[in-house]
């Protein structure tokens, strides 16, 4: 055999030429690698950006459905309370008396005026004839028997029933009706009490929700998927886009309260989030086109693509330039020393093995992911034993399935797949013992047939097998490490000893990983459960306690100051309506704040003149937290009622001026409000303290720590309120 030797007399120019060629190839390879890296990075960023946009859109849909459903539920609760109150007002009266009752009309008209989303209140007898309406008195001749809100209540009590959207016969505006059944004596049908709800109120509120382009909001009935209201509204106000009832029913079957689903509407694929409105068979559906993410994604991707193209062109130019420069130089003739193929001593061999074990031990000590632990152990085992492949099989409790494998060359994977490892290494799976086979071609299974066939040119076979169990501290076999080679007799006792130490480290790492995952999961579950329970209980106690305390105080104080039953009734109803107005404002803001100006306008609007000069309001925008809105709202109501009965509003030329100032304070915002009356009857100090006085001087002082000054000047009453509004704190609730 003849060996080629490089002559020592090789010229320096030849060495430089070969060195330049090698550098040129390396530069070209690195340039191509950079191009591929830029393209892959750009594709990955574009794909991730698309997924983020889709996820953001879905989160926006869920959040919008939650808030809109909560808002609608609160409106329906107030509507139900209104219908029940109306029913209570007409108790003990015949339909003829109801039809002629001016006092009853004034009461339901006041209720209708107090609720901005209610257009009209209807009282219909059992025949459907309209007997009383808040719109005008006496009621016009009309009949409700053709409407579904009336017919549904005739057969049985439907509770609070939501009717289909209709076009008002007088106003010609889209509305829908909500009805309650009236009982005649016992269980006999006695007519209906209903309200007409303005769709424009919903559209105005829904338009404030920020959603992607092409979004659609719908209020629908779950029974027949009838759309009650939809935003954006259709041109005629009633031709709503249909809901895919089959897709909605399938979604409700899997998640009846809330969820996300895909459907087709008007030949367009859409994705929508639905949320049940309280406990009623109504749902809020917020949807958008499936491809709503496309436009922002295209804009962002185009920007990224411009930077990627610039970088790509620059890299290609530099690569071509560098490659050409290296090719023009002399050939690279650098001499390479022969690689040391064999280890020179057992000491170096053991040192290399020890380094592998130490490196693997360091990795396992810092790793808690099971897959990476197994990969590290298999890779280390291949290095320690010089095996061509390694695989990890799960223990017998997991049916011994293969979990991870690494094969070099890859053709051995097919040969390994033909082996029945569970039978060949039965002692490792069943008894936890190490199995070493030097040549499985001469070994036989339980039926006498060889474990493997002879090798051919295109189908290599496996000869050597070494299987080592990974035994946990509990004595359970977590899995089996299997290594193999084409040659026979590759593995020895040294390989068994090294793998025994490796599997001991792997067992400890796997046990630590399992304990860590269990501990983390249990800690996180307990934290979430405790946090959510604490928040819910605190919020529930706070809201119920405040509302009950307010109603109890109103009942007691009204009863003590009333001179008769009628006086008690009128005062109590007025104060409850004032409380409802304030709660309505709080509900519109998701029970967070209420505008001071809106509270004043609701109370004083009925007493203002056409020019708006009798009542003057002067002050900046102030949002009252829920703790302050209720007592201040009731105080304004008492001052308004007192002015209408005895003060400036009881005389034609009387005037009321309300002014306020707000400035930052240490704990929140300091509010100074002044109520002044002029042009009314002469004022004198009262002989006894009524509900209004107690509310001003006790309730405000107790709940808000407010200072109240009252001046009974003969020219007009003057009241000054000085209070600090603390910042509202609301718990962060998860959806």
Tell me the pLDDT tens digit for each residue of 127-185. Answer: 888 888 888 888 888 888 888 888 888 888 888 888 888 876 666 778 888 888 888 76
Candidates 60, 33, 110, 43; CA nearest to 637 is 110
Residue with tokens 């300091």: 670
When the pLDDT of each residue in the chain is averaged and rounded to a whole number, the result is 77
Contact 626, 593 (CB under 8 A): yes
Q: Cα 692 to the chain's mean position, in Å?
A: 45
* 3-class SS of residue 275: strand
Give the pair of three-digit tokens for residue 656: 């009321």
- Given pLDDT bands bounded at 50, 70 and 90, which one contains residue 2? very low
Residue 438 · residue 444 · CB < 8 Å: no
- The number of helix segments (H) and strand segments (E) in the chain equals 18, 24
Token duo for residue 692: 């209004």
Helix, strand, coil: what percent of the chain each, to 5? 50, 20, 30
- Helix, strand, or coil (residue 260): strand
Please tell me the distance from the alpha carbon of residue 504 to that of residue 511, in angstroms, as a whole number: 11
Phi-psi region of 705 (alpha: psi -120 to 50; beta: other; left: phi over 0): left
Is residue 306 very low, low, confident or very high in pLDDT (cuts 50, 70, 90)? confident
Over the range 307-326, which residues count as b (16 or more CB within 10 Å of their CB) and which as e?
ebeeebeebeeebeebbeeb
Which residues, listed in sequence order, are joined to residue 721 by a DSSP beta bridge?
673, 708
Eight-class DSSP state of 486: S
Mean pLDDT on 598-608: 82
Q: How far is CA 715 from CA 144, 501, 647, 684, 710, in A?
A: 53, 101, 10, 9, 14
Residue 285 DSSP SS3: strand
* 252 close to 42: Cβ distance less than 8 angstroms: no
Q: Phi/psi at 303 (nearest 5 deg)?
A: -65, -45
Residue 400 has pLDDT above 90, yes or no: no
Over residues 680-711, the pLDDT tens digits come to: 898 888 877 766 777 677 778 877 888 989 99
DSSP bridge partners of 189: 183
The pLDDT > 90 percentage for the chain reads 4
Structure pTM? 0.40
Is pLDDT above 80 for 228?
yes
Query: What pLDDT sits at residue 579?
Result: 54
Q: What is the DSSP letter of 240?
A: P
The whole-angstrom separation of Cα 87 and Cα 81 is: 10
What tens digit of pLDDT does each residue of 425-469 get? 878 777 778 888 887 766 655 455 556 555 555 667 788 888 888
Going by pLDDT thresholds of 50, 70 and 90, the confidence category of residue 201 is confident
What mean pLDDT comes out for the span 88-110? Answer: 85
301: three-class secondary structure by DSSP? helix
Does the pLDDT at position 659 exceed 80? yes
Judged against a pLDDT cut of 60, whether residue 92 lies above it is answered with yes
How far, in Å, CA of 215 to CA of 217, rounded?
7
Q: Which residue has the tokens 């925008």?
A: 621
Interval 548-552 mean pLDDT: 54
pLDDT of residue 12: 62
Element (H, E) at 676: strand 668-678
Q: CA of 312: how far to CAs of 34, 145, 300, in Å?
A: 8, 75, 18
Q: Which residue has the tokens 């926006």?
A: 60
- Mean pLDDT highest for which of 292-301, 595-604, 654-663? 654-663
Q: Buried b vs exposed e over 201-234: b needs ≥16 C-beta within 10 Å?
A: bbbebbeebebbeebbbbbbbbeebbbbbbbebe
Cβ atoms of 654 and 708 closer than 8 Å: no
SS3 726: strand
Lowest mean pLDDT among 284-288, 658-662, 729-733: 729-733
Is residue 712 predicted with pLDDT exceeding 80?
yes
Q: How far is CA 476 from the centre of its chain?
A: 42
């Amino acid at each position: 055999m003849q060996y080629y030797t490089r002559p020592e007399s090789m010229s320096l120019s030849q060495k430089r030429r070969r060195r330049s060629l090698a550098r040129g190839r390396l530069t070209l390879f690195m340039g191509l690698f950079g191009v591929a890296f830029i393209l892959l990075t750009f594709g990955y960023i574009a794909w991730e950006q698309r997924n983020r946009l889709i996820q953001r859109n879905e989160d926006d849909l869920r959040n919008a459905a939650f808030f809109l459903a909560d808002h609608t539920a609160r409106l329906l609760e107030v509507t139900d309370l209104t219908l029940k109150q109306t029913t209570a007002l007409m108790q003990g009266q015949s339909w003829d008396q109801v039809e002629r009752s001016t006092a009853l009309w004034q009461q339901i008209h006041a209720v209708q005026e107090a609720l901005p989303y209610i257009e009209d209140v209807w009282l219909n007898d059992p025949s459907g004839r309209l007997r009383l309406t808040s719109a005008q008195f006496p009621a016009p001749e009309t009949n409700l028997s053709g409407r579904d809100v009336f017919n549904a209540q005739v057969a049985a009590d439907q509770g609070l029933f939501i009717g289909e959207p209709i076009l008002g016969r007088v106003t010609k505006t889209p509305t829908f009706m909500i009805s309650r059944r009236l009982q005649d004596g016992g269980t006999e049908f006695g007519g209906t009490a209903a309200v007409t709800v303005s769709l424009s109120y919903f559209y105005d509120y829904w338009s404030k929700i920020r959603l992607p382009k092409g979004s659609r909001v719908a209020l629908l009935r779950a029974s027949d998927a009838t759309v009650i209201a939809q935003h954006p509204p259709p041109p005629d106000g009633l031709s709503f886009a249909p809901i895919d009832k089959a897709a909605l029913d399938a979604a409700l079957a899997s998640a009846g309260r809330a969820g996300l689903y895909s459907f087709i509407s008007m030949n367009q694929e859409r994705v929508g989030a639905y949320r049940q409105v309280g406990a009623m068979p109504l749902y809020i559906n917020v949807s958008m086109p499936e491809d709503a993410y496309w436009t922002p994604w295209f804009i962002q991707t185009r920007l990224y693509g411009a930077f990627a193209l610039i970088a790509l062109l620059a890299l290609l130019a530099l690569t071509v330039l560098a490659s050409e420069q290296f090719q023009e130089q002399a050939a690279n003739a650098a001499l390479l020393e022969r690689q040391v193929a064999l280890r020179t001593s057992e000491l170096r061999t053991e040192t290399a093995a020890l380094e592998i074990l130490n490196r693997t031990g360091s990795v396992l000590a810092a790793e808690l992911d099971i897959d990476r632990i197994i990969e590290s152990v298999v890779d280390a085992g291949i290095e320690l034993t010089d095996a061509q492949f390694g695989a990890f099989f799960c223990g017998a409790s997991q049916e011994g399935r293969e979990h991870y494998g690494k094969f070099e060359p890859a053709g051995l994977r097919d040969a390994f797949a033909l082996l029945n490892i569970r039978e060949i290494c039965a002692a490792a799976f069943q008894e936890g013992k190490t199995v070493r086979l030097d040549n499985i071609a001469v070994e036989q299974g339980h039926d006498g047939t060889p474990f493997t066939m002879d090798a051919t040119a295109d189908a290599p076979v496996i000869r050597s097998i070494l299987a080592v169990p990974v035994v946990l501290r509990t004595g359970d076999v977590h899995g089996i490490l299997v290594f193999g080679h084409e040659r026979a007799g590759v593995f020895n006792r040294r390989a068994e000893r090294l793998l025994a130490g490796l599997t001991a480290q792997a067992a400890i790492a796997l046990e630590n990983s399992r304990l860590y995952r269990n501990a983390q999961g249990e800690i996180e579950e307990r934290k979430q459960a405790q946090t959510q329970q604490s928040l819910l209980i605190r919020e529930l106690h706070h809201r119920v306690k405040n509302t009950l305390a307010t109603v109890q105080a109103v009942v007691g104080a009204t009863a003590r100051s009333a001179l008769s039953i009628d006086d008690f009734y009128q005062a109590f109803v007025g104060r409850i309506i004032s409380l409802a107005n304030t709660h309505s404002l709080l509900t519109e803001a998701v029970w967070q704040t209420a505008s001071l100006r809106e509270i004043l306008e609701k109370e004083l609007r009925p007493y203002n003149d056409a020019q708006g000069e009798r009542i003057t309001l002067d002050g900046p925008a102030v949002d009252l937290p829920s703790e302050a809105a209720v007592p201040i709202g009731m105080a304004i109501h008492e001052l308004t009622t007192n002015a209408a009965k005895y003060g400036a509003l009881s005389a034609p030329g009387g005037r009321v001026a309300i002014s306020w100032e707000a400035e930052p304070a240490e704990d929140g915002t300091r509010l100074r409000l002044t109520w002044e009356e002029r042009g009314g009857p002469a004022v004198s100090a009262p002989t006894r303290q009524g509900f209004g006085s107690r509310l001003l001087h006790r309730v405000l002082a107790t709940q808000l720590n407010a200072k109240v000054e009252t001046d009974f000047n003969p020219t007009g009453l003057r009241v000054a309120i000085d209070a600090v509004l603390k910042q509202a704190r609301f718990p962060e609730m998860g959806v």
